């Protein structure tokens, strides 16, 4: 990034997580942005930082009408009534954890290995029986045949596991975790009979549920049935379910299939897919439910990062909770983004109040509360992530008490402030209102209204000897707002780029969407294309007309007569001139269009000059509203 920035004078950096918790990293970023003002390792003044860094929170962004642009995100609980046998499974795992830790209390390497193994096995167990069963085989096969040598030397990879894991896709994640599971197993002693028996019991339970839902899966299936189905009919509601593991993904797909959610109703997104396949699934999920039957999207974190899913979905389920809080926010961001018309709902699994009291239920409650807190925190997750992640790891590894979620959140916030967290900008509403007024003034000043832009396109198509736009019929004789673009020839074929609908319902032929020059008509729709100033059709049209003004090779008349909408006292005559200032090497420094004009008496032929301001107003009215008839 530093090398790339050298090639540009003007720089704009956009990021969802501007701060990773380390001041030196943030100041290095500022130095790349503006090396004359900032230096790496030197804390910037708040005044200097405020001049170049702008942070916006969704909750503070409003439209020109003062209403929030983003509906408020809501966190929902999916209550779980665990069966006694399932609670026993997790009690056995706690006993196994404590037994392994106590075997190497005096060995730092043994303790680190035991903690890592515990976390990897527990992550899989909390995800699904399928994920645990596959991991158990890897761990059991990697246990040493001879006792490990006690040592206080802890390999560096133990400290780097979770940071590195956050950067991996699905395939890499499995290989990475399995490799570290095997390496950690070699630093531990062999399982004693009690430990082997405990793990064997858990594995037996997991294998019994390879084709049957556990409590959490049953609750998910019930929830999806309530939302996506109405008796034998399907609703238009959609839900996205996130998990860390592909084993869990396929396990859930099989369970949904057994519940009547056919393969056409459930789509999968995982890191092993090629880009084109992932894009087709995304387009299907974003399409109108009337055009595609998919109702449930099962996705892994690696595949779901950076994609839009908000068009027809506002419900998301965290099937498992990753240790990295950034992943939780990235998940929610798939549906909580611009264009969402409903309040986004994020669901987490929480034990029911009547479920009883056990260490396992406490852990599930803890995970759910962390997920809920992440959804509500108004801080840079990059700076608070290490605190929350460390708290999760210590809690699930059976280590010392880390306090409740609120305590962790307070520690995280304090860390963010100490690290120089980027503060949210104040007075956002006032700024948005002012910028909105500036935008409207610019539209009026430059005459960028829909009908004017259309006239530019119509004129350019005529000059280029292309077929004209075809207005679509409207009700009650209202002016057309949508236009079909004809078949273009030559270089104008580029003007039709991206007009073909990105998703075509099964059994139908690909079709070309109409264009509209009114952004309000296109808002919230994917069946019409907004022909904005940078759209190829408008861009090519405006380029042609600008070039025509300086060329005699284009069939453009230098003189025209316009009948104005108002009665004028005499004939008004005007001429335009282009004023250009150039520098060395013929570099254009400034360009301005100027108009002069006045009144021509039809009887006497005498000319009376008008002032520039009045001339401008008369020409604007004539060109905006006049006709050539």
CATH code assigned at 295: 3.40.50.300
Domain match, 221 and 315 both: yes
Q: Is residue 64 part of a domain?
A: no
Tally Cβ neighbours within 10 Å of residue 217. Answer: 20
49-63, 65-79, 225-239, 353-367, range with the lowest pLDDT: 353-367
Residues 197-223: what's their mean pLDDT? 94
Domain match, 202 and 215 both: no
| CA angle in degrees (0–180, nearest 5) for 88-221-335 | 115
Phi-psi group of 47: left, alpha or beta (phi > 0 → left; psi -120 to 50 → alpha; rest → beta): alpha
Task: State yes or no: pLDDT of 525 exceeds 90.
Answer: no
Return mean pLDDT, the chain.
82
173-177, 457-461, 597-601, range with the lowest pLDDT: 173-177
Task: State yes or no: pLDDT of 353 exceeds 70.
Answer: yes
Q: Is residue 442 part of a domain?
A: no
- Which tops the pLDDT comparison, 200 or 556? 200
Measured CA to CA, the distance from residue 225 to residue 231 in angstroms comes to 9
Domain match, 230 and 200 both: no
- Report residue 402's pLDDT band, with 50, 70 and 90 as the boundaries: very low
Q: Is residue 438 part of a domain?
A: no
So what's the pLDDT on residue 552?
73
Q: Is residue 558 part of a domain?
A: no
Domain match, 526 and 587 both: no
CA-to-CA separations, 121 to 125, 269, 397, 444, in angstroms, rounded: 6, 24, 10, 63
Q: Is residue 61 part of a domain?
A: no
Percent of the chain exceeding pLDDT 70 equals 80
Residues 153-167: what's their mean pLDDT? 60
Task: State yes or no: pLDDT of 409 exceeds 90.
Answer: no
Domain match, 290 and 229 both: yes
So what's the pLDDT on residue 64?
66
CA-to-CA separations, 530 to 370, 374, 486, 499, 510, in angstroms, rounded: 41, 36, 16, 10, 19
Residues 299-326: what's their mean pLDDT? 87
Q: Determine the structural domain holding residue 462 and report its residue range.
A: 447-548
What is the sign, positive or negative, of the torsion defined by CA atoms of 561, 565, 570, 574?
negative
Number of structural domains found in the chain: 5
Domain match, 216 and 203 both: no
- Report residue 629's pLDDT band, with 50, 70 and 90 as the boundaries: very low
Q: Is residue 428 part of a domain?
A: no
Task: State yes or no: pLDDT of 359 exceeds 80.
Answer: no
Domain match, 296 and 249 both: yes
- Report residue 205's pLDDT band, with 50, 70 and 90 as the boundaries: very high
Residues 346-360: what's their mean pLDDT? 77
Contact 607, 598 (CB under 8 A): yes
Q: Is residue 437 part of a domain?
A: no
333-342, 380-389, 609-618, range with the lowest pLDDT: 380-389
Domain match, 300 and 405 both: yes
So what's the pLDDT on residue 559?
85
Task: State yes or no: pLDDT of 454 exceeds 90.
Answer: yes
Domain match, 236 and 290 both: yes
Domain match, 257 and 312 both: yes
Task: State yes or no: pLDDT of 474 exceeds 80.
Answer: no
Domain stops at, among 402, 418, 434: 418
Q: How many CA atoms lie within 13 A of 277 on its CB side?
A: 9
Percent of the chain exceeding pLDDT 90 equals 35
Domain match, 366 and 268 both: yes
Residues 530-549: what's their mean pLDDT? 92
Task: State yes or no: pLDDT of 222 exceeds 90.
Answer: yes
């Amino acid at each position: 990034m530093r090398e790339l920035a050298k090639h540009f004078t003007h720089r704009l950096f956009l990021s969802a997580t501007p701060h990773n918790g380390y001041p030196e990293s943030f100041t290095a970023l500022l130095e790349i942005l503006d090396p004359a003002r900032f230096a790496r390792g030197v804390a910037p003044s708040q005044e200097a930082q405020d001049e170049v860094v702008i942070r916006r929170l969704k909750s503070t962004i409003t439209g020109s009408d003062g209403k929030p642009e983003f509906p408020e995100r809501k966190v929902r609980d999916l209550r779980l009534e665990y069966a006694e046998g399932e609670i026993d499974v997790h009690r056995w795992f706690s006993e196994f954890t404590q037994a392994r830790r106590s075997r190497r209390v005096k060995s730092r390497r043994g303790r680190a290995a035991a903690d890592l193994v515990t976390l990897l096995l527990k992550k899989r167990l909390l995800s699904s029986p399928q994920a645990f069963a596959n991991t158990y085989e890897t761990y059991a096969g990697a246990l040493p045949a001879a006792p490990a040598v006690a040592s206080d030397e802890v390999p560096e990879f133990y400290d780097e596991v979770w940071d590195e894991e956050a950067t991996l896709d699905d395939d890499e994640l499995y290989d990475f975790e399995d490799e570290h599971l095997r390496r950690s197993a070699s630093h531990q002693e062999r399982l004693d009979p009690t430990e082997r028996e405990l793990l064997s019991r858990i594995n037996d339970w997991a294998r019994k549920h390879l084709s049957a839902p556990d409590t959490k899966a049953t609750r998910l299936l019930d929830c999806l049935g309530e939302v996506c189905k109405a008796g034998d009919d399907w609703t238009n509601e959609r839900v996205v379910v996130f998990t860390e593991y592909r084993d869990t993904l396929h396990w859930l797909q099989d369970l949904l299939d057994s519940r009547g959610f056919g393969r056409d109703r459930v789509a999968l997104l995982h890191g092993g897919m090629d880009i084109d396949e992932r894009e087709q699934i995304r387009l299907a999920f974003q399409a109108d439910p009337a055009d595609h039957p998919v109702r449930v999207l099962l996705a892994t974190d690696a595949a779901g990062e950076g994609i839009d899913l908000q068009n027809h979905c506002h419900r998301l389920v965290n099937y498992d909770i990753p240790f990295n809080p950034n992943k939780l926010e990235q998940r929610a961001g798939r549906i909580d983004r611009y264009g969402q018309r409903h309040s986004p709902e994020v669901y987490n699994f929480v034990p029911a109040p009547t479920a009883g009291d056990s260490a396992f239920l406490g852990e599930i409650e803890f995970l759910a509360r962390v997920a809920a807190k992440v959804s509500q925190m108004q801080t840079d997750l990059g700076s608070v992530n290490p605190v929350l992640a460390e708290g999760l790891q210590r809690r699930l590894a059976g280590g010392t008490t880390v306090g409740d979620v609120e305590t962790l959140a307070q520690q995280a916030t304090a860390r963010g402030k100490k690290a120089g967290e980027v503060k949210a900008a104040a007075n956002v509403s006032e700024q948005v209102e002012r910028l909105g007024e500036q935008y409207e003034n610019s539209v009026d000043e430059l005459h960028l209204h829909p009908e004017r832009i259309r006239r530019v396109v119509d004129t350019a198509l005529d000059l280029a000897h292309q077929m004209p736009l075809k207005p679509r019929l409207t009700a009650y004789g209202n002016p057309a707002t949508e236009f079909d673009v004809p078949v273009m020839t030559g270089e104008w074929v580029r003007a039709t780029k991206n007009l073909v609908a990105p998703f075509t319902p099964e059994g139908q032929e690909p079709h070309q969407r109409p264009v509209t020059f009114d952004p309000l008509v296109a808002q919230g729709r994917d069946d019409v294309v907004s022909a904005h100033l940078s759209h190829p059709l408008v861009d090519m049209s405006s380029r042609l007309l600008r070039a025509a003004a300086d060329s005699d090779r284009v069939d453009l008349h230098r003189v025209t007569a316009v009948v104005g909408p108002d009665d004028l006292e005499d004939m008004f005559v005007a001429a335009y001139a282009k004023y250009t200032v150039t520098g060395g090497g013929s570099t254009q420094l400034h360009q301005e269009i100027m108009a002069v004009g006045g009144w021509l008496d039809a009887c006497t032929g005498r000319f009376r000059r008008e002032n520039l301001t009045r001339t401008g107003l008369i020409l604007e009215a004539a060109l905006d509203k006049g006709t050539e008839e």
